[in-house]
Structure 1
Amino acid sequence: MYRKTRPLISLVMEESILYREVGSREVMRGQLEALIELSMQERVFLQIAKTASYEIAKLSEVMQTLNAQALNTAGSRALLREVIEQRWT
């Protein structure tokens, strides 16, 4: 994220997450304000998908399947390190 040409980051978030309290009110406010700040960065596109959409429900189902099949965070880091070592060293 510190190069002159930053990668394009596209985030689509489902609206209901804005109302699910995680932590305190202050934590939630800080998180939502951080999203606003993030969305102002060059090449970062943040969109909120309205909850009532059938397509969003279907997409959520697909994402849950993808998440279930994906490596966990530690496994993802290990794979990244493996690829660096095998391919880019």
Structure 2
Amino acid sequence: MAQHKSAEKRARQTKKRTAVNRARRSKVRTAVKSLETAIASGDKAAATAALKKAQPALDKSVSTSVVQKRTASRKLSRLNARVKAMA
């Protein structure tokens, strides 16, 4: 356990930050997963709507440093290509 005041504060901050980051990461994963399901179902309208929800979630995760910029860009590019490829 932390002995110094500053170390105790750091421990408290880390707990809070971890919880917030975990929630943000979960939100992104949920958005991407709903898009994956829409793509799998074959409904292009639903997939497009899900993409419009997943894109801001990924962009927000980049600005809050939960996901790296290139990773989010790659994921969005691949998901967008899959939605466009739907008949």
> Relative contact order (alpha carbons < 8 A, sep ≥ 6): 1 or 2 greater?
1
Give 1 or 2: higher strand fraction.
Answer: 1
Structure with a larger share of its residues in helix: 2
Using structure 2 for the length normalisation, give the TM-score: 0.30
Structure possessing the higher radius of gyration over alpha carbons: 2
